[in-house]
């Protein structure tokens, strides 16, 4: 099948660029959020010991010596806003003045205790912001690429740049690295909540208590990011909407480009139309998929899906999703099915929806105890491929996503459905848990 206009444009563009009650207290209303967060900070400060003079006197460019950040303490406890010392970047790291941070189900899994993670920690992992400081001994090329004042977007997978996978050379293309498998990221950040020297960069303002980092700990007024996880954001792109490039779009692109290897004319089904799933629709359209089937249980999400590239929609609450997908594809099944929800039921639907020789791509995280079922005989006899995909590759993919957004091929404004303030973080995650956010929500920080 010939390339359609979307797949032609995207390739030219890229080639030219290099309801559980898990909160014990009700969240405050928007009107009360400021007083609520101030009270939390005051309570934290009154119960803490004095800070050391050297750390408390640390300022950035004559600015404040402390910042606010959103802390997850333990499962089934509300998030709180606490005051932190301004973090120090180290060699190869950059201090970012955070402008916006997306609200993601991965954070929600941590908050609900479904994904084990070091705590207390600052959640939030898809950010935009402004460069304010380079770590000591950071190389000249990095400083020149990210000068003070530069606008940047950060990927949630922050590659170290030097492990086996980050330095792996591809055999058929000119790029280096499988950043999405970075050994240090998983060994240190995901396993311990630190950066790659085994230490966090976050400490409470008064007590000096260390607080761990989920990725860069993006729900804070400043954050430290390894330079390999950043990309320059052009002035033409807004901070707020562009934040989702670092996870929702980044994850969708990794799934479609690297795991599924979507080609023009492919048929694609996306199961679960949240922030990542809706991004998958736009990426599939950009890659030239001929039929794009959106599957969810909420009609409002399915209506939105039609504006993002879906050619068909299925409400799995009202009809059998697998049978309907096969009906749409003439009984064969889709070339690629993507599971973007993270549930055993949808895992099974995904594997059953693909044609013989097709690819079932799993990108939805779930409770760490959950297990998926698969028909082993069909998997073997009919060459069904089941592939996991966690995200994209920061150094090669993030610049491409910026170009897609800058050209309008990926519509950021259509993907972001709600914004809020940092004071409303507790409430926004409750809404995410209830399934009442269509698309992606973004916290505006500064």
How far apart are alpha carbons 65 and 274 in whole angstroms? 38
End-to-end CA gap in the chain: 47
Record the tokens describing residue 378, joined without a space: 């069909």
Only one residue has tokens 């004095």, namely 50
Q: In the prediction, which pLDDT does 170 show? A: 57
Continuous segment of H or E residues that includes residue 34: helix 33-46
Q: What is the mean pLDDT of the chain?
A: 87
pLDDT value for 446: 79
- DSSP letter string over 182-240? -HHIIIIIIHHSS-TTS--SEEBTTT--EEEESTTT-SBSEEEEEGGGEEE--TTS-HH
Q: Write out the two tokens for 396.
A: 């090669």
How far is 9 from 407, CA to CA, in rounded Å?
A: 9
Q: Are 359 and 339 in contact (CB under 8 A)?
A: no
- Predicted pLDDT at 65: 85
pLDDT tens for each residue of 44-66? 333 333 333 344 446 676 677 89
Q: What's the pLDDT at 19?
A: 37
Retrieve residue 289's tokens. 């998929």
Q: What is the pLDDT of residue 168?
A: 82
What would the pLDDT profile of 407-431 be if each residue is shown by its tens digit? 999 999 999 999 999 999 999 999 9
List of residues 6+ apart from 207 with CB closer than 8 A: 48, 49, 51
Q: State residue 385's pLDDT score.
A: 97
CB burial of residue 77 (10 Å; 0-12, 13-18, 19+):
middle
The reported pLDDT for the residue numbered 8 is 46
Question: What are the residues whose beta carbons fall under 8 Å from the beta carbon of 181, sequence distance 6 or more?
Answer: 165
DSSP string, 324-390: HHHHHTTTS-EEEEEE-S--HHHHHHHHHHEEEEEEEEE-----TT------HHHHHHTT-EEEE--
Of 60, 186, 235, 169, the residue nearest 396 (C-alpha): 169
Question: Burial, 137: exposed, middle or buried (Cβ in 10 Å; 0-12, 13-18, 19+)?
Answer: exposed
Q: Which two tokens stand for residue 4?
A: 């359609």
Return the C-alpha torsion angle 108, 113, 116, 121, nearest 10: 60
- pLDDT score recorded for residue 157: 97
pLDDT for residue 368: 87
pLDDT in tens, 379-400: 999 999 999 999 999 999 999 9
Cα 73 from chain centroid (whole Å):
21
- Under-50 pLDDT residues of the chain: 1-9, 11-57
């Amino acid at each position: 099948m010939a390339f359609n206009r979307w797949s032609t444009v995207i390739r030219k563009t890229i080639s030219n660029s290099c309801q559980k009650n898990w909160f014990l207290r009700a969240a405050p209303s928007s009107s009360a959020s400021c007083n609520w967060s101030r009270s939390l900070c005051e309570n934290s400060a009154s119960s803490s010991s004095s800070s050391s003079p050297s750390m408390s006197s640390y300022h950035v460019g004559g600015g404040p010596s402390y910042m606010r950040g959103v802390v997850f303490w333990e499962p089934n406890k509300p998030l709180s806003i606490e005051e932190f010392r301004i973090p120090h970047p180290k060699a190869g790291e950059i201090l970012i003045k955070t402008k916006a941070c997306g609200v993601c189900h991965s954070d929600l899994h941590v908050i609900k205790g479904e994904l084990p993670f070091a705590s207390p920690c600052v959640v939030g992992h898809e950010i935009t912001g402004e460069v304010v400081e380079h770590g000591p001994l950071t190389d000249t090329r990095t400083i020149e690429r990210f000068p003070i004042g530069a606008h940047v977007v950060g990927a949630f997978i922050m590659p170290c740049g030097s492990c086996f996978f980050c330095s792996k050379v591809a055999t058929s293309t000119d790029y280096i690295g499988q950043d999405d498998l970075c050994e240090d990221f998983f060994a240190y950040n995901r396993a311990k909540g630190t950066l790659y020297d085994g230490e966090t960069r976050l400490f409470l303002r008064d007590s000096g208590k260390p607080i761990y980092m989920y990725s860069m700990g993006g729900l804070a007024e400043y954050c430290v990011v390894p330079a390999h996880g950043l990309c320059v954001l052009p002035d033409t792109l807004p901070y707020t909407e562009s934040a989702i490039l670092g996870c929702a779009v980044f994850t969708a692109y990794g799934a479609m480009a690297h795991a599924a290897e979507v080609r023009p004319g492919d048929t694609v089904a996306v199961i679960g139309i949240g922030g990542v799933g809706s991004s998958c629709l736009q990426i599939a359209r950009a890659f030239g998929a001929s039929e794009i089937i959106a599957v969810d249980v909420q009609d409002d999400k399915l209506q939105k899906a039609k504006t993002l590239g879906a050619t068909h929609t299925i409400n799995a609450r009202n009809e059998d999703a697998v049978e309907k997908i096969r009906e749409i594809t003439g009984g064969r099944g889709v070339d690629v099915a993507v599971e973007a929800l993270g549930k055993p039921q949808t895992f099974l639907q995904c594997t059953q929806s693909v044609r013989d020789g097709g690819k079932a791509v799993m990108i939805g995280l779930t409770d760490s105890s959950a297990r998926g079922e698969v028909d082993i005989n069909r998997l073997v006899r009919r060459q069904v491929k089941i592939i996991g995909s966690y995200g994209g590759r920061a150094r090669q993919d993030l610049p491409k996503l910026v170009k897609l957004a800058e050209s309008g091929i990926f519509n950021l404004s259509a993907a972001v459905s709600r914004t809020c303030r940092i004071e409303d973080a507790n409430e926004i995650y409750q809404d995410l848990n209830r399934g009442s956010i269509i698309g992606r929500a973004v916290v505006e920080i500064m």
